[in-house]
Structure 1
Amino acid sequence: MLQTSPAGLRRHALAFVLAIVVGLVLVFWHSSTATARDGALLVNPRQQATPEPKPKKVETRKAPAAAQPAKTTRKKATTPRSATRKPTRRKTRARVPSETAPSGSPPTGETRFVADEVIVRYRLAAAQPAMDALVRRLNLRHIEGRTFALAGITVHRYAIVGGSPVTTVIAALEADPTVVYAQPNYLYELAQAAAAASGGPQYALTKMAIEAAQAVTTGKDVPVAVIDSAIDVAHPELEAASVETADVTGNAPEPHQHGSTIAALIASRGTLRGIAPDVRMLGIAAFDVDAHSGAVNSSSWRVAAAIDRAHQWGARLVNMSFAGPKDPLIARSVAGMEKRGMIAVAAAGNAGPDAPPLYPAAYAGVIAVTATDRNDAVFAKANRGDYVALAAPGVEILGIAPGGRYVVSSGTSLAAAHISGLAALLLGRAKGLSATELLDALTASSHDLGDPGVDPIYGAGLPDAGTAISQFGS
């Protein structure tokens, strides 16, 4: 048996331990390598290597392009016009629509017109030299020409210089091919009788049940135009009312009783009580005192101008307390009002029960009003006819006159003003009402005064304001 010294034993022990350590290290290294190769090694993000910066892009400049040869443009050979000219067509004028209208000559016996004036409507295609020659031949002097918007036509007013009768001049004008028609410059009168010496309280307010309606509406801001004589806006009854004025006479007429009373019956805010005191009113002076006769009248030309002015101002309701003959120009203007949603109220006239219809009341679309007294009897001088739509108080009515005065008068003019005031109350309650809807509401509320149903004396009867307003809610 071999014996080993102590130093040798120590060397052998150290070698053995070293071999074991080396073996463990090799085992651990092999295991780590295998794990990393399988992709299961988790790495702390903070210890991740910073990615290498991307290489900078090297800028390379393109070599300048080789010069291109200049383009040459060759002018195309032109073909002579004679070779390409298209055959010309003869130009034709646009056809002007034919214009026709009934003769404007007044009926036999009609004398309510200006004795030395005529109104003429020419064809659109009429040549100026031809018109001038016609005027010279008939010895006429041109006064003015105007396009009436609501009538939709342009007409001219002439003075008859040679003294020829109006009917003769109209016949000669209408025989000329440049003329559509010609007519007189008709005259209109205010539909009010002479003032009475005394009167009573405003019985119309009770008769028409105005108080009940005013508890609901006062016609606030409803635009109402009054075509009449000039209004005295400084009268105590109208000082607090919203009244503007306009003049189509060109004469700046003085305030007059008729226009002032009509305005007060509708919009008074003083001692008297207007039917619709809060309306906005435009008083259009279309009537003036005639220098020769002293009568207060107007004409076709002025009335048509006043209707246009009412439309321009924005009137929703127009009171026309005057009357005259059938008139082609005014008929067209009234039709224009209806097309534009304007409501026209007019006096039936004071020519008597046997008189023919008066206008504008008798035109379609106009609310014609007759007059009654405090006992519901019809005014003795009132016109009658199928055109009468309603009745209202118009006998011995308290009104106003310039200078702060008060007067009592009668006539269908005053009845029309009362209905205009009531119509303004309805419009204050239902602003979108048409003329037909408004008349239907007034008719449905009316007390029948004559024969059962609508009759030529009273129309549908006397409206009840409270009942009429109640149709449009409480």
Structure 2
Amino acid sequence: MTLNFFSSARATVLGALLALLAFAFHLPAEAQFSPQRGGGGGDRIGPSSGGRGGIGPIIGPNVIIRGGIGPMARPDDEGRRRRPGRRPGAGKYSDEKSNKPRCGVRGRPPCSDKTAGDRKPGDRKPTCGLRGRPPCGDKTAGDGKCRQDRAGRWHCPDRSPPGGGRIPPIIVLPNPGGGDSGPPPRAYATRQERMPQGRAAAPSPSVARQVLVLVAANQPGATEAQLAQTHRLQLVSSTNVPLLEARAQVYRIGDQRPMQAVVSALSSDPRVMMVQQNMVYQRQSGAGGAARAAQYGFDMVGVPSAHELATGRGVKIAIIDSGVDQEHRDLAGAVGEAFDATGNKDSKPDVHGTAIAGIIRARGLVSGVAPDATLLAARAFFAVPRRELPESTSFILLRALDWSVHHGAQVINLSFSGARDPVIERAVAAAARRNVILVAAAGNGGPKAAPAYPAAYPGVIAVTAHDSAGRLYTYANHGTYISVAAPGVDILVPALRNGHMFMSGTSMAAAYVSGIMALMLERAPHLRPEDAMRVLSETAQDVGESGRDESFGAGRVQARAALDALHDSAKAVGVRQ
């Protein structure tokens, strides 16, 4: 009896073991997670995710997939690798039946309206959640917002705001000159220009306790010291301004007298031509083949056909901005002369000035609107500790404007903004009287912002920005002073250390128009500013509301049409035959 009991128990245990082995051999095979390799980088599993701070790019040889507006996006492992030996539950990667819940538990997809596991055998294959399908949720392949690359990876960007600031498309950028020499390109950062919050409608501040004084050039040389003694002021700096036939001085108020009292006393002094506060300006803050596709603005404004007639040869364009990186490959030989109006020891180049120079005159991965023009780089902005953007002052800008005109600038690009400034307004008018064409960014304060200067001065071409679909840049200023519009959203530009990036703002649009001015001046060297404004407006493509409006001005500039119009009115504007 005992022997029979043990034999029966042994048979039961043996049967159980055999059953377990049979069950194990019939389990579905583990899903294979194939690592997606970036060029020269680590493995990446699954699609990247992100928000306004930037969507992590996937980098391969000569391939860049970039994301949202914000800081430089870096490749990193955002997905998780499955641990060896871990098996998915039935129903997630196969049609086997299971009594487990179909979603919301470990080993199952999240519960939502579109879950991968919530289906029965024989149902139509789900459109999301499985391998080779986009992620489940609001953004599916069918709604046009998700894209699949050549490796089968899905990329679902965030929803884009209306107008500017959209998620730029997937872009494949070959190495300049073809071939595979050198390291693969990095992910290109994106940057938007936008006036700091609370600053858009407020007047620009002035330098604390400083006044800017102009005296006539024929005044005795001792006048500056006499003014300082008479009005109890400390002389900070002085410069000659032949543009205004004057000398400019900055004085510091050393005592506690109100600023207005000092300005009133100086304005009543017969030796003083002009006096005001030393205003503060902010630089506008704020990318052949596939590379050409990234420069959508070229075709929108007719630059390729315009280059059949002119390339800006022999025309000097001054860029009053932050420093330009003259060592950048795309800007080799672009800068004829440079001047640092700040007097600051730190003369490092800056991305903004480099970007503006590239849009106008680059020859490389980025193609400039006027590739044969000569740039005059006037550095007028410098970094200020604990300030969001580089700044300048009335005195520094006056020096930069005077230097630009004195060195033969025919076009001056002004991609900065501030409050109305009598001294700068006077200098701008004096430059225009000398047949210098001034182009300025319309401002990035938004639809309700006050007019931005110098763009709103009479005789200045104020340029607003639009995107590749012709929609107005979200943060662009509106107003009756807007002259024309040009591409300015997601513009491919050169960056520091031979890099490239995408930038958005009215500064980029102004650079497009400055380049077109150079093309017009090559054809008509004696073109007057008023004639340039008229031709540009008459040939612009009407966008937005019918006729001239406060958003787009006269419309989108058209380079070839402007050159053709110059030829039709050759005698009036002095076109070179």
Residue 182 of structure 1 aligns with an amino acid whose one-letter code is V
The corresponding residue for 2:512 is 418
Q: Structure 1's 174 and 212: CA in aligned 2 closer, same or farther, altered over 3 A?
A: same
Alpha carbons 1:320, 1:347 under 8 Å: kept:
yes
The corresponding residue for 2:424 is 330
Where relative contact order (Cα < 8 A, 6+ residues apart) is larger, the structure is: 1
Q: CA deviation at 1:162?
A: 2.6
Q: What do residues 407-455 of structure 1 show as CA deviations (whole Å, max 9, x unaligned)? A: 2111111100000011111111221211111122211221111222221
Alpha carbons 1:151, 1:335 under 8 Å: kept:
no
Q: Structure 1's 364 and 152: CA in aligned 2 closer, same or farther, altered over 3 A?
A: farther
Q: CA deviation at 1:143?
A: 1.3
The corresponding residue for 2:481 is 387
Match of 1:320 among 414, 419, 425: 414
Q: Aligned partners of 1:126, 1:341: CA distance in 2, in Å?
A: 28
Q: Aligned partners of 1:311, 1:176: CA distance in 2, in Å?
A: 29
Q: Structure 1's 120 and 268: CA in aligned 2 closer, same or farther, altered over 3 A?
A: same
Matches within 5 A, 1:283-294: 283-291=377-385, 293=387
The corresponding residue for 1:453 is 547
Alpha carbons 2:248, 2:395 under 8 Å: kept:
no
Match of 1:432 among 526, 550, 553: 526
Matches within 5 A, 1:131-150: 135-136=228-229, 139-150=232-243
The corresponding residue for 1:116 is 209
Q: Structure 1's 162 and 331: CA in aligned 2 closer, same or farther, altered over 3 A?
A: same
Q: Secondary structure at the match of 1:418?
A: helix
Q: Secondary structure at the match of 2:534?
A: helix
The corresponding residue for 1:245 is 338
Matches within 5 A, 1:268-307: 268-291=362-385, 293=387, 295-307=389-401
Q: CA deviation at 1:201?
A: 0.4
The corresponding residue for 1:152 is 245
Q: Aligned partners of 2:254, 2:424: CA distance in 1, in Å?
A: 25
Q: What do residues 314-338 of structure 1 show as CA deviations (whole Å, max 9, x unaligned)? A: 1111111111111111111111111
2:556 is the alignment partner of 1:462: yes
Match of 1:184 among 277, 289, 303: 277
Matches within 5 A, 1:122-271: 135-136=228-229, 139-174=232-267, 179=272, 181-193=274-286, 201-252=294-345, 253-271=347-365
Q: Aligned partners of 1:216, 1:111: CA distance in 2, in Å?
A: 42
Q: Structure 1's 420 and 135: CA in aligned 2 closer, same or farther, altered over 3 A?
A: same
Gaps of 5+ in 1: 1-107
Q: CA deviation at 1:150?
A: 1.8
Q: CA deviation at 1:147?
A: 3.3
Q: Structure 1's 158 and 292: CA in aligned 2 closer, same or farther, altered over 3 A?
A: farther
Q: Secondary structure at the match of 2:450?
A: coil
Q: Aligned partners of 2:220, 2:306: CA distance in 1, in Å?
A: 58
Alpha carbons 1:118, 1:182 under 8 Å: kept:
yes
Q: Structure 1's 210 and 128: CA in aligned 2 closer, same or farther, altered over 3 A?
A: closer
Q: Secondary structure at the match of 2:309?
A: coil
Q: Structure 1's 353 and 152: CA in aligned 2 closer, same or farther, altered over 3 A?
A: farther
Q: Structure 1's 246 and 180: CA in aligned 2 closer, same or farther, altered over 3 A?
A: closer
Matches within 5 A, 1:348-359: 348-359=442-453
Q: Structure 1's 360 and 217: CA in aligned 2 closer, same or farther, altered over 3 A?
A: same
Q: Secondary structure at the match of 1:303?
A: helix
Q: CA deviation at 1:171?
A: 3.5
Residue 247 of structure 1 aligns with an amino acid whose one-letter code is D
Q: Aligned partners of 1:219, 1:129: CA distance in 2, in Å?
A: 45
How does the TM-score come out when normalised to structure 2?
0.59
Q: Structure 1's 158 and 216: CA in aligned 2 closer, same or farther, altered over 3 A?
A: same
Q: CA deviation at 1:234?
A: 0.4
Q: Aligned partners of 1:125, 1:259: CA distance in 2, in Å?
A: 36
Alpha carbons 1:150, 1:332 under 8 Å: kept:
no
The corresponding residue for 2:11 is none
Q: CA deviation at 1:109?
A: 7.0
Q: Structure 1's 392 and 135: CA in aligned 2 closer, same or farther, altered over 3 A?
A: same
Q: Secondary structure at the match of 1:318?
A: strand
Q: What do residues 355-378 of structure 1 show as CA deviations (whole Å, max 9, x unaligned)? A: 221111111111110111111111
Q: What do residues 148-204 of structure 1 show as CA deviations (whole Å, max 9, x unaligned)? A: 2223333321112235553343234335565454211111112231x9xxx970111
The corresponding residue for 1:23 is none
Residue 334 of structure 1 aligns with an amino acid whose one-letter code is V
Q: CA deviation at 1:126?
A: 8.8
Q: Aligned partners of 1:124, 1:473: CA distance in 2, in Å?
A: 42
Q: Aligned partners of 1:242, 1:225: CA distance in 2, in Å?
A: 10
Q: Aligned partners of 1:263, 1:129: CA distance in 2, in Å?
A: 41
Alpha carbons 1:242, 1:280 under 8 Å: kept:
yes
Alpha carbons 1:116, 1:163 under 8 Å: kept:
no
Q: CA RMSD in A?
A: 2.7
Q: CA deviation at 1:297?
A: 1.0
Q: What do residues 256-305 of structure 1 show as CA deviations (whole Å, max 9, x unaligned)? A: 00000000000000111100100011111111112453630111111111
Q: Secondary structure at the match of 1:438?
A: helix
Residue 161 of structure 1 aligns with an amino acid whose one-letter code is G
2:468 is the alignment partner of 1:377: no
How does the TM-score come out when normalised to structure 1?
0.71
Q: Structure 1's 222 and 130: CA in aligned 2 closer, same or farther, altered over 3 A?
A: closer
Report the identity percentage: 36
Q: CA deviation at 1:404?
A: 1.2
Alpha carbons 2:217, 2:245 under 8 Å: kept:
no
Residue 356 of structure 1 aligns with an amino acid whose one-letter code is A
Count the aligned residue pairs. 363
Alpha carbons 1:152, 1:332 under 8 Å: kept:
no
Q: CA deviation at 1:353?
A: 1.4
Residue 383 of structure 2 aligns with an amino acid whose one-letter code is V
Gaps of 5+ in 2: 1-200, 569-577
Q: Aligned partners of 1:414, 1:299: CA distance in 2, in Å?
A: 22
Q: Structure 1's 170 and 111: CA in aligned 2 closer, same or farther, altered over 3 A?
A: farther
Q: Aligned partners of 2:308, 2:439: CA distance in 1, in Å?
A: 24
2:388 is the alignment partner of 1:309: no
Q: Structure 1's 432 and 165: CA in aligned 2 closer, same or farther, altered over 3 A?
A: same
Query: Which structure carries more helix by proportion?
Result: 1
2:493 is the alignment partner of 1:399: yes
Q: Structure 1's 410 and 168: CA in aligned 2 closer, same or farther, altered over 3 A?
A: farther
